[in-house]
Structure 1
């Protein structure tokens, strides 16, 4: 058998159970045909075989981002970005919003994303009055980077039927000033509910999904676990499935059945319709049902067992009572679903563990692979329960790099057990990494960098005892992600018979200075045996152009 593509002279990181390293790989159609030395793979080279000389660069399995918001990432690209290099102040954001208003028909939504009060000169949120000065004829939202809160102008509040007398929703806050007047700031479930009226059209969603998929592929991401979007979950799921079918989305999708708006309604709908976890194929498959239990780690609104180090009177927000959590997720477990929830604080994690323990006890099921999204402050007692219940945590090491400084301020010594990759490894807990983009950067190499170094972008150590080596970090971004979606026999490592989802890096992942891992780039991304992104510097020594 002659291969379609052969990679030679590389650092092939197989990510198998032995952390094996080889030199060459042969690809036939959409599968890996063989892995071995250059000499082993020579026999697979024919007249039409494309041969790619890796010149010592790393060839790794396609990255699997186990928690990312594809739709929100894409729709953000349609709005005003608050993370551009020229943004230093609120006035810089207001200028860009004014420019967006000029090109937007009256009555249509104007949205800004990626706002972080810590990153601007004023160190505060904008006000409703400031947004009203930009436009009273356009509904305007400035959405915080965590996607757990926003500031709305008067027009947006009017459309959402929010006024000075509107009660706070359960699990949310409609902020008011000392005189009882709306500030425009909506926190947690109040923010989520805004998207009942601030959602996107089907055309906007389709366009955004393609933009996001293309961006992910350039980062070497070949599979995602999509963690949901605003609005009606079933509608987003339908559009996403169609986008995969017509190849607008080219990354493989494991669709978590959760919505940022009324997630329990979506969970109940999926359970009633019987669309159980695992339905689908290699390109699109239904994942777990998901709820939100608490808030944002940088808000901060996560639910903690002890008050925040920065605020002795605050220990966060809980979305559901224990009884409701047990009902919604317990019923889904009973019906055969994988279950998960957003749980950042240790109090929220404990509630989710109690829920899963009760569900598994009442309706025993082996190999359920229930998950915890984020599992931010994972104390040793909670880790031990994860191990006993065979739960898969989905930590976000890139948060340590981006948010490490404020984590130390908000949570003190608890940073030593935030996203604790080393503890998980030593306990034998399978943890799969996710970026949570667009909350922060989608780049998996930055996530690996953060897991290996445990330093914030300012250079502070943040729970350095949780550092892992580069091969373990790579495992958490590849085969562990495949395990979390029941796909470890199909993808996640470079082994014969698995899907040909492969990534070429710009240098050797093993020999580069660990402090420079974040500077590595992606030179080629292959999905299903097809090269969907490549850098022209790659050296082809045989066959035709790909």
Structure 2
């Protein structure tokens, strides 16, 4: 029997009492004991591997309850504008010119993480600037939110988009005052466009591998995948997990970034139900997009944006349309969820859930809502009454807080309203939405506790939570959101041995240093999958 003993540390169990112990023992792939160092020493055999923690923290394996595995992995393969060196359109075009020279004609050139507010020119590149670089390569620049894209003429031709192409519902193919295409595609226009620039199987496997490397380095052992590119990426994810090409535990939402509605309908027709699978790959909730991006800004709001009296954002469906799509799924036992950022979109979804539960009551449905951005008190109370699980993104205010204050004003006091939701007794989980923001969970934990942006601007301070509450959002509560709280999410006897050793004591770490906390070891299913060898000695 394989034993690993972790001694002389700070074992943050995240159990019902938030108990902290000195040590724990792993046998095979399960947690066998927790207690004092002396208690654990009495249980170990001579062949046990012993790791002296020297006061460092041990956490349950962290769970990112909302991220995009393929999209995140893709950003690690292509040009990413989150690189601080790309601080202007001029520099971006220079980098693209270098890539064009090395890229075969006809091959798609992809750029991720662009934010017009973070470049010197404070604008998007123009279609003319992109066309001047190449007429032979489709160029696709994805904005940091993932909901807006800037493309060149070759990319538009690939998707058969011209000035006569009508706007899709919930999207815009932008044109200038003369009716000419600008190359900017917004919301559904961009999401539908992406069906024409798909990835090869090799690229998809590579994206998963690169994503997993970063997840393990940040202590993340489980993810709730919020949608890949299409049916093929969903297939590749299952193959990779089944063949153990990736080991990350995946809860895969039934939804996609490209043509989400049809993908979801097709999957529901196939009859694969929520939570089908094993400890490494399970089917998650049926998912739809109901509104847009919080930074676009394109979210659907009850009142106009503070920055624009005429802008209420994009609503993707009528309430009746949303009910029609979700009705059968609810009746058949699926967990449901939506991307809903604005209060208008959140209200619409909660109305649908209320109607479904009234017509077809279900116990322990655990329907979710992804993001739950602008959520005022009346909608918080409704979410509580319906037992809906919010999946918040604590890192969003860290990166985008200043733009939220500009666009939504006083509504930021109840954006990603973790404190209010927890006070209502609502089990609330957290995710990064990577690559939209950093995959680093300690940035999210820091922001949940401080409610400070990267520029140290105060953001909805009433929504600050305790450090233990923030940790719970990334562990036990995230496990609950996928029906897995009896198997993982806390360090308790009999649970899976998914653990993380940090480089410091988290409970004694100065708050301002939490974003710089590093992982020394990540254990998944009793196996060490990442280790800083100089710190751990493995």
Task: Give the shorter-chain TM-score range.
Answer: over 0.9
1:128-143 equivalence runs, <5 A: 128-143=127-142
Mapped contact 2:255–2:263 kept (Cα < 8 A): yes
How far apart are the structure 2 equivalents of 1:282 and 1:424? 29
2:158 equivalent in structure 1: 159
How far apart are the structure 1 equivalents of 2:101 and 2:208? 26
1:479-494 equivalence runs, <5 A: 479-494=476-491
1:86-235 equivalence runs, <5 A: 86-230=85-229, 232=230, 234-235=231-232
Mapped contact 2:25–2:33 kept (Cα < 8 A): yes
Determine helix, strand or coil for the equivalent of 2:33: strand
Q: TM-score, normalised by structure 2?
A: 0.99
Matched, 1:310 2:314: no
**Structure 1 residue ranges without an equivalent (≥5):** 541-545
Matched, 1:356 2:353: yes
Alignment match of 2:246 (pick from 245, 249, 252): 249
How far apart are the structure 2 equivalents of 1:225 and 1:368? 17
Mapped contact 1:52–1:538 kept (Cα < 8 A): no
2:430 equivalent in structure 1: 433
2:451 equivalent in structure 1: 454
Mapped contact 1:270–1:276 kept (Cα < 8 A): no
Mapped contact 1:446–1:517 kept (Cα < 8 A): yes
The alpha-carbon deviation at position 229 of structure 1 amounts to 2.2
- RMSD value, Cα: 1.0
Determine helix, strand or coil for the equivalent of 2:314: coil
The alpha-carbon deviation at position 513 of structure 1 amounts to 1.2
1:416 equivalent in structure 2: 413
Alignment match of 1:507 (pick from 498, 504, 508): 504
How far apart are the structure 2 equivalents of 1:199 and 1:5? 44
The alpha-carbon deviation at position 44 of structure 1 amounts to 2.2
How far apart are the structure 2 equivalents of 1:539 and 1:532? 13
How far apart are the structure 2 equivalents of 1:320 and 1:101? 39
Mapped contact 2:11–2:58 kept (Cα < 8 A): yes
Determine helix, strand or coil for the equivalent of 2:110: strand
Alignment deviations for residues 323-371 of structure 1 (CA, whole Å, 9 cap, x no partner): 1100111221111100000000000000000111111111111000000
The alpha-carbon deviation at position 3 of structure 1 amounts to 5.6
How far apart are the structure 1 equivalents of 2:509 and 2:521? 19
Alignment match of 1:296 (pick from 290, 293, 316): 293
Runs ≥4 residues deviating over 6 A: none
1:388 equivalent in structure 2: 385
Determine helix, strand or coil for the equivalent of 1:44: coil
Between stretches 531-540 and 240-249, larger displacement belongs to 531-540
Determine helix, strand or coil for the equivalent of 2:528: strand
Aligned length: 538
The alpha-carbon deviation at position 526 of structure 1 amounts to 0.3
Matched, 1:347 2:344: yes
Mapped contact 1:62–1:526 kept (Cα < 8 A): yes
1:404 equivalent in structure 2: 401
Alignment match of 1:368 (pick from 357, 365, 369): 365
Determine helix, strand or coil for the equivalent of 2:307: coil
Q: TM-score, normalised by structure 1?
A: 0.97
1:63 equivalent in structure 2: 62
Determine helix, strand or coil for the equivalent of 2:287: strand
Determine helix, strand or coil for the equivalent of 1:196: helix
1:37-48 equivalence runs, <5 A: 37-48=36-47
Matched, 1:11 2:2: no
Alignment deviations for residues 455-476 of structure 1 (CA, whole Å, 9 cap, x no partner): 0111110001100110000000
Determine helix, strand or coil for the equivalent of 2:507: coil
How far apart are the structure 2 equivalents of 1:56 and 1:425? 30
The alpha-carbon deviation at position 263 of structure 1 amounts to 1.3
Between stretches 198-207 and 286-295, larger displacement belongs to 198-207
The alpha-carbon deviation at position 72 of structure 1 amounts to 0.4
